[in-house]
Amino acid sequence: MELKNKTIIITGASSGIGAAAAMLFAAEGASVVLGARRETELNSKRDADPLLPFLT
């Protein structure tokens, strides 16, 4: 799948399928925009994965 120069918006990105999808799409070269209700968990995903360099 060619995801370079694509932007993907993911809701529910702090856990489960949303988090897994975010990491997969980022690994494939997409820019990801993440949303979640649990800011702490979302920040921990950012801190744990260098492919997810986003600001909160």
* pLDDT higher than 70, residue 55: no
Q: Where are the domains of the chain?
A: 1-38
Region 46-54 average pLDDT:
69
Cα 36–chain centre separation: 10
pLDDT for the residue numbered 6: 93
* pLDDT higher than 60, residue 3: yes
Does the predicted TM-score (pTM) go above 0.95?
A: no
Amino acid letter at 43? N
d(CA 30, CA 40): 23
* pLDDT bracket for residue 42 (50, 70, 90): confident
pLDDT for the residue numbered 56: 45
